[in-house]
């Protein structure tokens, strides 16, 4: 009963599918019983009523066993499907938790870089001013040194 309520509550198409399968099974069983009854009446009209009833009962028992096997198979498939759904729900819960954690980290990181970028730009501005004076000094020293070397070598 739990599987049927699970299917009804979660998936209406599954209920329709199961009802369709049951209707087909009942149709096949009754048509088989009808064929067996017609064959028995045509071939063995000499059989007594109790023998005919016994044959029909045996046929009904055999059909009932086949239906029980089909119901067991449907039950197993439903249980497997329920287990897979539980596993998927657990994975979904885990992924939801990871998503929340990552969103929290992103929000924290969005606030941090502004301060870090300001601090880094201040350091680079000071370094740029210092390096400009250093560059001018090195250039001037290079010009003077190359002039002196060219005078000594050329002169």
d(CA 128, CA 17): 76
Q: What is the pLDDT of residues 9-58, one digit of tens each?
A: 556 666 677 777 888 888 888 888 877 766 665 545 567 888 888 888 98
Cα(128)–Cα(120) distance, integer angstroms: 12
With contact defined as beta carbons under 8 Å apart, do 29 and 63 qualify? Answer: yes
Task: Give the CA diameter of the chain.
Answer: 145
Its domain, for residue 33, covers 2-110
User: Coil, strand, or helix at residue 149?
Assistant: helix
Q: Would residue 131 count as lying in a domain?
A: no
pLDDT 10s digits, 55-99: 889 888 888 888 888 888 888 888 899 899 999 999 999 999 999
pTM, entire model? 0.38
Q: What is the structure's pLDDT at 95? A: 94
Evaluate whether residue 79 is within a structural domain.
Answer: yes
* Number of compact structural domains in the chain: 1
Q: Please state, for a pLDDT cut of 70, what percent of the chain lies above it.
A: 72
Measure the CA–CA gap between 134 and 142, rounded to whole angstroms: 12
Confirm if 37 and 56 have CB atoms less than 8 A apart. Answer: yes
Within-domain flag for 63 = yes
């Amino acid at each position: 009963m739990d599987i049927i309520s699970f299917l009804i509550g979660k998936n209406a198409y599954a209920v329709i599918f199961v009802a369709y399968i049951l209707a087909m099974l009942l149709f096949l069983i009754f048509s088989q019983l009808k064929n067996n009854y017609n064959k028995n009446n045509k071939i063995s009209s000499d059989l007594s009523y109790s023998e005919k009833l016994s044959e029909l009962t045996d046929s009904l028992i055999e059909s009932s066993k086949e239906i029980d096997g089909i119901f067991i198979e449907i039950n197993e498939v439903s249980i497997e499907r329920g287990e897979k759904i539980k596993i998927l729900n657990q994975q979904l819960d885990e992924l939801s938790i990871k998503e929340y954690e990552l969103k929290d980290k992103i929000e924290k990181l969005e606030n941090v870089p502004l301060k870090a970028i300001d601090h880094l730009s201040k350091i680079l501005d000071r370094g740029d001013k210092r390096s400009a004076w250093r560059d001018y000094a090195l250039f001037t020293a290079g010009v003077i040194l190359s002039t002196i070397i060219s005078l000594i070598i050329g002169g």
